[in-house]
Chain A
Amino acid sequence: DVKVTQSSRYLVKRTGEKVFLECVQDMDHENMFWYRQDPGLGLRLIYFSYDVKMKEKGDIPEGYSVSREKKERFSLILESASTNQTSMYLCASSTQQQGLGTEAFFGQGTRLTVV
């Protein structure tokens, strides 16, 4: 069973803090993603990574950075948290192997509140 685990389910941080959201997957997937989910806006891609140390900007990368030092772990970093980054953050992973449908597996989400 594929498992994507996010380090926190709920998180409250202060404005200006540096915030780390961690995500670990156990299926040896090449691709990993960070999405932000807001009501009425669906899921918007922040960053994705298709290999260790590789990263690509998604649709809304401003204010975020990522790190992928190991294949199984993908971290989202808010360098200086702001109230407009209060949101639900979803991590996902998928394989690059052709024929397997590129189904993405998701973590349970981290609801981040910046006060």
Chain B
Amino acid sequence: AQTVTQSQPEMSVQEAETVTLSCTYDTSESDYYLFWYKQPPSRQMILVIRQEAYKQQNATENRFSVNFQKAAKSFSLKISDSQLGDAAMYFCAYSFMGGSEKLVFGKGTKLTVNP
């Protein structure tokens, strides 16, 4: 079974600084998706960034980028120029690239941004 591990229950960063959240996963599949979701205090879960496993290039979305290491099964999220609005729970998730996919989540990392 696929598993996703986030080893940092909590992280903090100063406003305008850079922070990296870690995620490792376990799968025997070769084609899959990896995601980072953000859940602010409002509880609305939103997608931050997505990576297809067959793509070697790391995904980037504005201040958010990933370091995808397929062989090491590692998928970290880097947040640059951190803003107060980045404070949230961040969940790493895995999905097999099939027709009826389900998302498997890590336990989450709570990010605090200090002014």
List chain B residues, Cβ under 8 A from A44: 105
Measured CB to CB, the closest approach of chain A to B102, in angstroms, equals 5
Cβ B102 vs Cβ A42 within 8 A: no
List chain B residues, Cβ under 8 A from A101: 33, 50, 52
List chain B residues, Cβ under 8 A from A106: 44-46
Chain A interface residue count, CB cutoff 8 Å, equals: 26
Q: Using C-beta atoms within 8 Å of the partner chain, give the interface range for chain B.
A: 20 to 34
- List A48-101 residues whose CB lies under 8 Å from chain B: 48, 50, 58, 88, 90, 92, 94, 96, 98, 101
Cβ B100 vs Cβ A108 within 8 A: no
Measured CB to CB, the closest approach of chain B to A7, in angstroms, equals 15
Cβ B50 vs Cβ A108 within 8 A: no
Are A33 and B47 CB-contacts (below 8 A) given A42-B91, A42-B107, A103-B35? no
Cβ B100 vs Cβ A30 within 8 A: yes
Q: Given the complex of chains A and B, what is the CA–CA distance between A101 and B52 in angstroms? A: 8
A104 within 8 A of B: yes
Are A48 and B102 CB-contacts (below 8 A) given A90-B45, A102-B97, A109-B43? yes
Closest residue of A by beta carbon distance from B104: A45
B101 within 8 A of A: yes
Q: Given the complex of chains A and B, what is the CA–CA distance between A33 and B45 in angstroms? A: 14
Cβ A92 vs Cβ B99 within 8 A: no
Partner of A96, one of B6, B33, B35, B100: B100
Cβ B108 vs Cβ A92 within 8 A: no
Name B residues whose Cβ lies closer than 8 Å to a Cβ of A: 6, 9, 33, 35, 42-47, 50, 52, 91, 95, 97, 99-108
| 30 contacts across the A-B interface (CB closer than 8 A) | A33-B103, A40-B9, A40-B107, A41-B107, A42-B105, A43-B91, A43-B103, A43-B105, A45-B102, A45-B103, A48-B100, A50-B99, A58-B102, A92-B103, A94-B101, A94-B103, A96-B99, A96-B100, A96-B101, A98-B99, A101-B52, A102-B33, A102-B95, A102-B97, A102-B103, A103-B35, A104-B47, A108-B42, A108-B43, A109-B44
